Amino acid sequence: MTIPRIGVTGVVRSWDGGERTGVNAAYVRAVIAAGGLPIVLSPLVGVAYAARSLDGLDGLVLTGGEDVDPSLYGTAPSPLLRTTDRARDLFELAAFAAARARALPVLGICRGIQLINVGLGGTLYQDLAAERPGAITHDPDGPRDRRIHGVTLEPESRTSHALGTTALQVNSLHHQGIRDLAPALRATGWADDGLVEAVELPADTDEGWLLAVQWHPEEMPAAGEARATPEPGLFRALVRAAQASRRTPDSMDAEVAERSVG
């Protein structure tokens, strides 16, 4: 079986004195650990080639990072809005739309769940602490792998099946979150304060495989594991879905090989 190729959306940042493009190593490690071949997609590719950048890919991870530009969901910016990257927003929205058109499985992480919700017509809280008084702290100081709040999962959902549980403690590294859920999405996980922390496209429709969570499974090792060993459940589920929906099946590779020999 050929290893499924999984696109992982990247960032443009300044570090070590230069402008660079890449992605947190934890995402790349998580895809590899789950049996996928990660391909980092730079937003510098731009909207015009966002769809082409998915050629040959079998799945897509929309990763964490900047706040989504609120103009994309019809809201004026709050003073508490943090860094945005409109070029990244537009690249990822175009890549997400192209992935949907191609029925590629999609996994969203943190900003990814927010981008998916906006892409499908939902809205966001720009700052949870200000706009949702009484909410638990979703962006505490501390290590990225610290499990800080509970999440309850819908028993019959892709998310609970992938994780093998209906209740878990998760890390939390976000100050934004889902306000109005996009009509097509189904909420399947909630924080202790009721905030939506997991969404998916219903399995009983033709909408394709999509799962997104507000926490960072790639930074959250399974109990008793070293930090570099991500909790595998959600990434394994993505890789399995990618294998099931491969657009370039192994049989096609084999046919090409046969023809070239014959």
- In the complex with Mn ion, which residue's Cβ is closer, 160 or 172? 172
The b-or-e profile of 11-38 (16+ CB within 10 A means b, else e) is bbeeeeeeeeeebbebbbbbbbbbbbeb
Work out how close the CB of 258 gets to Mn ion at its nearest, in angstroms, rounded to a whole number.
51
Rg (CA), the chain: 18
Work out how close the CB of 135 gets to Mn ion at its nearest, in angstroms, rounded to a whole number.
9
- In the complex with Mn ion, which residue's Cβ is closer, 9 or 172? 172
Q: Which of 92, 138, 216, 219 does the annotation list as catalytic? A: 216
The phi and psi torsions of 261 (rounded to 5 degrees) equal: -75, -45
Active site residue 216: yes
- Mask 59-98, x = binds Mn ion (CB under 5 A)? ----------------------------------------
Rule CB under 5 A: choose which of 5, 100, 111, 138 binds Mn ion.
138
123/261 Cα distance (integer angstroms): 55
Provide the CA 43 distance to its chain's centre, in angstroms: 15
Stretch that binds Mn ion, among 49-57, 77-85, 138-146, 244-252 (CB under 5 A): 138-146
Active site residue 218: yes
- In the complex with Mn ion, which residue's Cβ is closer, 37 or 136? 136
Work out how close the CB of 110 gets to Mn ion at its nearest, in angstroms, rounded to a whole number.
9
- In the complex with Mn ion, which residue's Cβ is closer, 58 or 67? 67
Active site residue 110: yes
Tell me which DSSP letter residue 204 carries. T
- In the complex with Mn ion, which residue's Cβ is closer, 147 or 246? 147
Work out how close the CB of 149 gets to Mn ion at its nearest, in angstroms, rounded to a whole number.
6
Burial of 195 (0-12, 13-18, 19+ CB in 10 A): buried
Q: Rounded to the nearest 10 degrees, how much is the dihedral formed by the CA atoms of 130, 133, 134, 137? A: -10
3-state SS record for 80-104: CCCCECHHHHHHHHHHHHHHHHCCC
Work out how close the CB of 188 gets to Mn ion at its nearest, in angstroms, rounded to a whole number.
15
- Mask 152-191, x = binds Mn ion (CB under 5 A)? --------------------x-------------------
* Cα→Cα distances 205→176, 202, 210, 256, Å: 29, 6, 11, 34
Among all residues, which ones are annotated catalytic?
110, 216, 218
Binding site for Mn ion (CB under 5 A): 138, 172
